[in-house]
């Protein structure tokens, strides 16, 4: 079973992840993994921190000569800023606890509850871990998962479909998004809407406010049968929702037409099943986003997530000092005013982990060769039933 | 750690659940549990099956004299219809496989993919388990969880906020919903809107179509600090989303204002933190639905789920025969045309499980007395920090 | 992933288990499962309870017409004695708590610590669950696992190698044990030693004492590669040890020559690797019990477990009243004086679960057909490397 | 729930572990952790590798100023030899795969099965991970667990009770072992027996053979009630056995008098329960090793493990070339001829993890203060029942 743990603070020495359950003999393209990390750091609306960090992975174990060994893979993403922060953050020595102390907890962050739960008088101890910096680990992990699935022609993309009130409601082909999205500063594949989004970000910035949005993740060539209706914790839509809702700033997750299922009658929500000899079993529509009964159908997986605006505003919010309980205006820790494009990259890689986990679980096999054999047997059997890859 | 497994088919002998991790000495009110099961079966728009089954629980283990023993609790919900179905469904003898065979797979159900994945030529083998009948188990489990949390004054309610195009956008106090919702056939607490909803259901029924909606779940008196920002799989919003999205027919989950975070600037999304000596630390607003950084804040937890229309329509959908691959119109297995009120009950109890799991994990203790001691210590410590129950 | 939960008290209504993760289309032989339950209840040295209960399974879900459906399987073993106990044990009604109250905690049982941990003043609440009666559930689960593995010619047996000071140190072929062990009242396949064992049991019984022993479990035709050296919690020897040491009364577990590894030099402990064209890669010895590096080697798996004597003696032990703290002599709850033969049956089925779990995890596949395809691919690939089935 | 993953190869850049679930505000003594690592590398009978590596931990995350932050802790143990091995082991670049290729698989190691399972033609890819070098990670993790439990006066020690045929059957007090064991090169606290053990090691070395032994782990001041009889996977003896049997080279695990339970009648195996006002509830004996019904009793926990001799002998074993299938004599990778003292250190720390996991689970609390409050409440309640710390 594919699983991973992440560790590390925003201004600590490194972000460390261990990804366990990757089959052996998978060739990794390190540049492609670093490309994902770079995409995470890009996007219109980011602040200065992104210029300090230029993330690249350092694999410390589980891989030899770019091929996976079948054991746990440890991945380091160094925090380049650590040299300036070691006197405050050093794990193994006494540190200066006063200079960077955060007593004024920030609404919308983990600060207040984190201090209560973990018995801290300094929200620094919270925010260093709750920070979205941790998503660099998730992207690194997801990027490795993509490399596994590439062997089976399963591909991922994502784009931004809303920033503030600017929406991109157009339907795009997977390949169109994949080819164009990296060229857009806001990961919007429509040039006109992109302009409006950038304008919206600028407008919000000028008021000292922040802005959220909606991202859409798409997965192509997923085979039918990932996940299962047989038990509540085996449904792949549930696990996707868990990982996405558990991503920093996400407040809503929907699959296919999502909340719009409520606005339509049943006859306009289901995807009718058709068959012809050439294409095999197919659907004319994909309103359910490639998932029925907690299982992938073989159609494209389509998911959307709502990201809340970054809680740290130049125009600060009323809050309190956690130690004195006096009113205060929440301090500014960072200066992005829109991180929706980054969120798109993060969510895409988060989805890649889940799809990969279910794929490996379904197909079985400890190494690439066995995986391929099992995969081919499955595809062949489905072919006998009328479903074609 | 609270955990459970469910088993059983729609027309099998019984639905069985085992709930493990319940502390000892919790007194169970069996009537209240049965009341939840009854609520699940009620609601305008349900078909005839609901009249056949009048679910009640039979506890087979883990409880003695209505008090929990600290071990796994096994719960049976008998299928009263089984006597008519045993010749088709008997697990331990040869059965008539032909009479109830379903070759025409139904779009929007697990039928097609289930047959492919599990190598069946009969969707009967799929639909018996994928059926929403399984939610009776989830309700029974959640109802026990509620009884645990009642000892700590944590309460749950839910209502229907949308059926088809009829929406109830009003804000209601928790207690108002709790007191009124069971009196409504559609679990809508606004009498005018309720009428419109019923009218909408009737209208849809007359066309042979089905209709979905949106339900809202609310939890009162949750303590701060359930869940954690420290790891992606400890975030309570993630786990809530997993369980809810993994519930039959749910296609979207949102917390607080949910997708509306994208339509508002940061200054209108965050919940400012205030303090006064009487109330302690509080918020004036609750847009984030009682969860920040993957942790409960102590404010009310508010979640909404989108339920898709029931896929089985009198006005049937195009589909195929899974064995011959010929075109066919999907067969009708049941006749509800709106199950949104039931979904509200199910989701409420699903949420109860998650809150209870995190509560027990956070507080610790093998029996009610230790739980209470630990709980009181925690509440007292939070009191010292300015947060009041 | 194969997993299960058990529930139920010794004098409760039923023992319930849910076994999840069984592939679909596995045909179950109900008689064979009941045969295992019967074997568990047999054996020289058992008391009267065994005559009351004649366990048989009732499958409540997950199976249709004797074939698995791919979903969770619920298994009931009814307690025939419940009708006499319902007034003391009924979960859903008030019960007579006084008549069967156990204040005098029994050394060697869970009674004392159970009462402390779960805040009970009545060890009845503990012993009903801690009782070895629960092993009926484990046998039922393991018996189903055997039926899965039978499709791949993997077989299990076990025998008693020590009762008290009487030891059977002979080496037997798997098939010899399998064919003869059920004919022995003490599951000893050597007729002379069997007599000595029975004599020993009689002798101990006459003194009012009890006696333990050692059982050996053997698994034939296990394929190489179940388990993994890559992570500590993937080693199959670890998981076997967990399940066995977690079985009632087991105090020691060893694999292959076990503790004897300490008495021999390295050159006499390792199993040299040989090859010839006919047999492929093989070992001349099997001192390591078919497991190297946490993985099965393809040789027979051999495990031994030490069972402590039953703690409840006619010759009672000094103890205390848990409520008054006065000295007392521990009360007698049951009257077996040797349960080692039963333990052999239990441990064999416990091992069957673990082997099956790792087998399914390694091979992959949701249904029998896919499992077989994947299995054949694996065996073929190993054949290319020189290892033959 | 306390959990950890480890990663890294024997000649890779670093061993990395992530330990998740440690409460906040635990002060770590880094020197004590490094002391454990040093002890693991010591011991009579080790070869040259131990001189190259002088392990120390580098904490990369989860700790600030020597205090835990409540999040996952990442721990690095650098492989000092990596600079010489990077051209063969570099994860992110092409490497020389030929120079260090191991085709001759070594009996008693994971080599053969590892190559079959993971589809390798080079056992280097196996042995780098299956190597006991990984135990450095386990010691680091266990050492942190000890620091947590020190706050509750729970202490650990271990010693060697057998090397080859030389046994130390004396009973020692916990404190006597703890104070003397680090002074012994073979971790034997009896000076005469120590001499015999060293002599035995020398003798074996002179013949080119290797030798195993038995180690005993002891835990003092464990509170009653860790683990539970209520479910098979909650029994602490099972989990201890899992972790220990899953430790490199362990082939047997026993608790208390272990396999000797079979040689004694029930009246000589159980630990009678006594009470006096001064000491509270106590036992006069501790034959069951501090565990009854899968729960700690409050008496000392006593466990013994059998370690097999190191499989790599100067006097090599017959084996095969995995690629040509020709007979060969297994190659020598390292030169320890007795690692039993190191095994004692490893197993002690492995036990520390399990005890800590169950302790945190039982007591509950996210930070040291809450843990202490909950602990005190529990101890006080037990005091009311007659059990005294």
* Interacting residues of A40 by C-beta distance below 8 A, sequence separation 6+: A55, A135, A136, A139, A342, A345, A346
Interface test with C, best of B56, B60, B110 (most C CBs within 10 A): B60
Closest to B246 measured CA to CA, from C24, A245, C366, A154: A245
Alpha-carbon distance values, C184 to A52, B296, C39, C160, C346 (Å):
76, 61, 11, 10, 16
- Residue of A267, A287, A265 whose CA lies nearest to B200: A265
Beta pairing partners, A159: A216
Q: Are strands D295-296 and D166-167 parallel, antiparallel or unpaired?
A: unpaired
CA distances from A388 to A281, A373, C345, D191 (A): 7, 17, 47, 74
The DSSP H or E segment spanning B275 is strand B273-276
| C362 near A CB under 8 A | yes
Instruction: Record the tokens describing residue A239, joined without a space.
Output: 């696990």
> For residue B315, what pLDDT is reported?
78
Query: A13: which 2 tokens?
Result: 């020495």
Which one has a higher pLDDT value, A45 or C174? Answer: C174
Find the residue in A nearest to B17 (Cα). Answer: A231
The total number of residues written for chain B in this structure? 389
Beta-carbon separation of D6 and C270 below 8 A: no
- Chain position carrying tokens 């509950």: D364
Q: With an 8 Å Cβ cutoff, are C24 and B95 in contact? A: no
Q: How confident is the model at residue A128 (pLDDT cuts 50, 70, 90)?
A: very high
* Bridge partners for D329 per DSSP: D318
Q: Tell me what the pLDDT averaged over chain A comes to.
A: 95
Rounded distance between C-alpha atoms, residue A212 and residue A215, angstroms: 10
> Looking at beta carbons, which residues of chain C come within 8 Å of B93?
65-66
Measured in angstroms, the CA of A5 and the nearest CA of chain B are apart by: 8
- Number of Cβ pairs closer than 8 Å across B and C? 183
- Alpha helices (runs of H) in chain C, residue ranges in sequence order: 30-41, 49-52, 82-89, 111-118, 124-130, 135-150, 174-180, 191-206, 236-245, 340-363, 368-385
Place of tokens 């492919």: B116
Provide the token pair at A182.
């990296």
Check C14 against B60: CB less than 8 A apart.
yes
Given phi > 0 = left and psi -120 to 50 = alpha, else beta, which region is C384? alpha
How many A×B Cβ pairs under 8 Å?
355
pLDDT of D292-315, one tens digit each? 999 999 999 999 999 999 988 877
- pLDDT score at A317: 86
User: What residues in A contact D110, CB-CB < 8 Å?
Assistant: none
Which among D6, D91, D367 has CB closest to A64? D91
Residue identified by tokens 């092993």 is C135
pLDDT classification of A389: cutoffs 50, 70, 90:
confident
Q: Is A120 on the interface with D (CB under 8 A)?
A: yes
Q: Give the separation between CA D349 and CA D353, rounded to whole angstroms.
A: 6
Question: Quick check: B67 pLDDT over 80?
Answer: yes
Tell whether the model's pLDDT for residue A50 goes beyond 60.
no
What's the whole-number mean pLDDT along residues D4-22?
98
Nearest-by-Cβ selection for C113 from D224, D250, D315: D224
Token pair 């289930």 is at which residue? B114
What's the per-residue H, E or C state across C7-63? ECCCCCCEEEEEEECCCEEEECCHHHHHHHHHHHHCCCCCCCHHHHCCCCEEEEECE
C 27-86 residues with CB < 8 A to D? none
State residue C51's pLDDT score. 60
Q: Is D204 on the interface with B (CB under 8 A)?
A: no
- Judged by CB atoms closer than 8 Å, whether chains meet at A165 and B112 is answered as no
Percentages helix, strand, coil for chain A (3-state, rounded to 5) are 40, 25, 40
Owner of token pair 């119109």: B329
Confidence of residue A331 (pLDDT cuts 50, 70, 90): low
User: How many Å apart are CA B311 and CA B210, to the nearest integer?
Assistant: 7
| Subunit contact B61:C369, Cβ cutoff 8 A | no
Per-residue pLDDT at A7: 98
Lowest mean pLDDT among C132-146, C216-230, C250-264, D323-337: D323-337
Minimal Cβ distance to D119: which of A7, A91, A370: A370
Question: Strand, helix or coil at A48?
Answer: coil
User: Is C245 in contact with D230 (Cβ distance < 8 A)?
Assistant: no
- Is the pLDDT reported for residue C333 higher than 60? no
Which one-letter DSSP state was computed for residue A58?
E
Question: β-strands A63-64, A73-78: how paired?
Answer: unpaired
Q: Residue A333 above 70 pLDDT?
A: no
Closest Cβ opposite residue B129 in set C30, C71, C119: C71
Q: What is the pLDDT of residue C75?
A: 98
Q: Mean pLDDT across chain B, nearest whole number?
A: 95
Backbone angles phi, psi at A60, to 5 degrees: -105, -15
Asked whether the predicted pLDDT for residue C322 surpasses 90, the reply is yes
D300: tokens are 């000392």
Question: Reduced to 3 states, what is the DSSP secondary structure of residue A149?
Answer: helix
Is residue C272 scored above 70 in pLDDT? yes
The pLDDT value given to residue B331: 60
Nearest beta carbon to residue A71 from set C231, C373, C377? C231
Cβ-Cβ contacts under 8 Å, C229 against chain D: 110, 114, 126, 129-130
Q: C246: annotated binding-site residue?
A: no
**CA distances (Å), origin A249, targets A252, B11, C31:** 9, 43, 56
Whether D377 has its CB under 8 Å from any CB of chain B: the answer is yes
The answer to whether C127 and C150 have CB atoms below 8 angstroms apart is: no
Contact status of C117 with chain D (Cβ, < 8 Å): yes
Of D38, D33, D36, D6, residue with least CA distance to D20: D6
Which residue among A20, A225, A363 sits closest to C364, beta carbon to beta carbon?
Answer: A363
Structure tokens at B222: 């949750």
What confidence tier does C89 reach under pLDDT thresholds 50, 70, 90? very high
Q: Do B320 and A164 touch (CB under 8 A)?
A: no
User: Token pair of D61, please?
Assistant: 């995350």
Q: Which residues contact B12 (CB under 8 A, 6 or more apart)?
A: B79, B82, B85, B89, B91, B128, C60, C61
Residue in this structure with the two tokens 């304008």, named with its chain if needed:
A199
- Please name the member of B214, B246, B293 whose beta carbon is closest to the beta carbon of A294: B246
CATH of domain C3-384: 3.60.150.10
Please give the structure tokens belonging to residue D52.
């190259």
Which of B20, B231, B363 minimises the CB distance to D231?
Answer: B20
Residues 6-35 of D with CB under 8 A from B: 20
- Residues with Cβ within 8 Å of residue D203, at least 6 apart in sequence: none
DSSP for B136-201?
HHHHHHHHHHHHHHHTTT-EEEEEEEEETTEE------HHHHHHHGGGSTTS-S-HHHHHHHHHHH
Helix axes B368-385, A111-118, angle to 10 degrees: 120
Q: What is the DSSP letter of D65?
A: T
* SS3 state of residue C82: helix
Per-residue CA distances from B18 to B114, C16, C141, D94 (Å): 25, 8, 15, 52
pLDDT at C50 over 90: no
- 8 Å CB contact between C304 and C161: yes
- Give the distance from CA C288 to its chain's centroid: 21
By the CB < 8 Å criterion, does C290 face chain D? no
Phi, psi of B99 (to 5 degrees): -60, -35
- Minimum-distance CB partner of A65 among D4, D97, D368: D97
Can you list the pairs that A280-287 forms with residues at least 24 positions away whose Cβ atoms lie under 8 Å? A280/A383, A280/A386, A280/A387, A280/A388, A281/A385, A281/A386, A281/A387, A281/A388, A281/B112, A281/B320, A281/B325, A283/B107, A286/A256, A287/A256, A287/A257, A287/A261
Residue B45 reports pLDDT greater than 90 = no
C363 touches chain A (CB under 8 A): yes
Contact by Cβ (8 Å): D182, D43: no
Which residues on adjacent β-strands are paired with residue C319? C328
Q: D242 phi and psi, to 5 degrees?
A: -60, -50
Tell which of A293, A310, A327 to mutate to test the B interface (max B CBs under 10 Å). A293
- In terms of CA atoms, which chain B residue is nearest residue C82? B60
D110 is an annotated ligand-binding site residue? no
The size of the B-D interface in CB pairs under 8 A is 62
What pLDDT, on a 0 to 100 scale, did the predictor assign at position B292? 97
Other CB atoms within 10 A of residue C350 CB: 29
Query: Domain spans of chain D?
Result: 3-384
Q: How confident is the model at residue C246 (pLDDT cuts 50, 70, 90)?
A: very high
User: Contact B373/D369, CB-based, under 8 Å?
Assistant: no
Contact between chains at A125 and D69 (C-beta distance less than 8 A): yes
* Alpha helices for D171-272 (secondary structure H): 174-180, 191-206, 236-245
Residues A229-243 have pLDDT tens digits of: 999 999 999 999 999
pLDDT at A314: 78
CB contact under 8 A, D228 and C119: no
Question: Residue B245 belongs to what H/E stretch?
Answer: helix B236-245
Chain C residues inside the 8 Å CB shell of A369: 381
User: In the prediction, which pLDDT does A52 show?
Assistant: 60
Sequence-ordered list of residues with C-beta below 8 angstroms from that of B154, at least 6 positions apart, any chain: B219, B220, B221, B222, B223, B355, B359
Q: What is the percent of chain B with per-residue pLDDT over 90, rounded to a whole number?
A: 91
Q: How many residues does chain A have?
A: 389
The pTM of the whole model exceeds 0.95: yes
- DSSP line for C228-280: -TTSGGG-HHHHHHHHHHTSTTEEEEEETTGGGGGGSBGGGTS--EEEETTTE
In angstroms, the separation between the Cα of residue D368 and the nearest Cα of chain A is 8
Check CB contact under 8 Å for A58 and D8: no
pLDDT tens figures, D217-262: 999 999 999 999 999 999 999 999 999 999 999 999 999 999 999 9
Q: Tell me the mean pLDDT in the region D165-173.
A: 96
* DSSP result, B21-50: -PPBTPBP-HHHHHHHHHHHH-STT--THH
For residues B353-370, give the mean pLDDT.
Answer: 98
Taking the Cβ of residue B209 and every Cβ of chain A, the question of whether any pair is shorter than 8 Å is answered with yes
Residue D295 forms contact with C (CB below 8 Å): yes
B52: which 2 tokens? 């056949």
Q: Is the pLDDT of residue B33 over 60?
A: yes
- Shortest CA distance to D163 belongs to which of C37, C297, C264? C264
User: Is B25 in contact with C119 (Cβ distance < 8 A)?
Assistant: yes
Q: Is the confidence at residue D45, as pLDDT, over 90?
A: no
Closest by alpha carbon to D215, among D254, D268, D263?
D254
Confidence band of C336 (pLDDT split at 50, 70, 90): confident
pLDDT of D112: 97
């Amino acid at each position: 079973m594919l699983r991973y743990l992440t560790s590390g603070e925003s201004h600590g020495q490194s972000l460390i992840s261990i990804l366990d359950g990757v089959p052996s003999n998978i060739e990794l393209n390190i540049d492609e993994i670093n490309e994902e990390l770079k995409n995470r750091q890009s996007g219109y609306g980011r602040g200065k921190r992104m210029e300090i960090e230029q993330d690249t992975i350092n694999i410390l174990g589980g891989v030899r000569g770019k091929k996976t060994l079948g054991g746990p893979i440890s991945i380091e993403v160094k925090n380049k800023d650590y040299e300036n922060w070691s006197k405050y953050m050093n794990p193994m020595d006494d540190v200066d606890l006063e200079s960077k102390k955060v007593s004024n907890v920030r609404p919308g962050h983990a600060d207040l509850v984190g201090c209560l739960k973990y018995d801290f008088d300094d929200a620094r101890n919270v925010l260093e871990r709750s920070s979205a910096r941790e998503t660099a680990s998730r992207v690194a992990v997801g990027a490795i998962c993509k490399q596994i699935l590439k062997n089976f022609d399963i591909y991922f993309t994502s784009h931004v479909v809303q920033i503030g009130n600017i929406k991109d409601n157009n339907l795009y082909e997977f390949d169109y998004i994949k080819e164009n999205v990296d060229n857009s500063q806001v990961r919007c594949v429509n040039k006109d809407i992109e302009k409006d989004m950038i304008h919206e970000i600028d407008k919000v910035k000028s008021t000292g406010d922040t802005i959220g949005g909606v991202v859409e993740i798409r997965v192509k060539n997923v085979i039918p049968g990932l996940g299962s209706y047989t038990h509540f914790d085996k449904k792949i839509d549930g696990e996707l929702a868990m990982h996405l809702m558990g991503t920093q700033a996400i407040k809503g997750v929907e699959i296919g037409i999502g909340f719009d299922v409520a606005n339509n009658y049943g006859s306009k929500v289901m995807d009718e099943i058709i068959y012809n000899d050439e294409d095999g079993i197919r659907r004319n529509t994909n309103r359910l986003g490639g998932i029925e009964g907690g299982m992938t159908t073989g159609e494209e997986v389509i998911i959307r997530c709502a990201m809340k605006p970054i809680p740290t505003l130049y125009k600060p919010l009323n809050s309190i000092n956690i130690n004195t309980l006096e009113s205060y205006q929440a301090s500014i820790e960072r200066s992005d005013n829109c991180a929706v494009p980054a969120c798109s990259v993060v969510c895409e890689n988060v989805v890649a982990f889940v799809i990969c986990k279910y794929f490996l679980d379904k197909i079985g096999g400890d190494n690439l060769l066995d995986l391929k054999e099992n995969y081919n047997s499955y595809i062949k059997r489905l072919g006998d039933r009328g479903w074609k890859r």
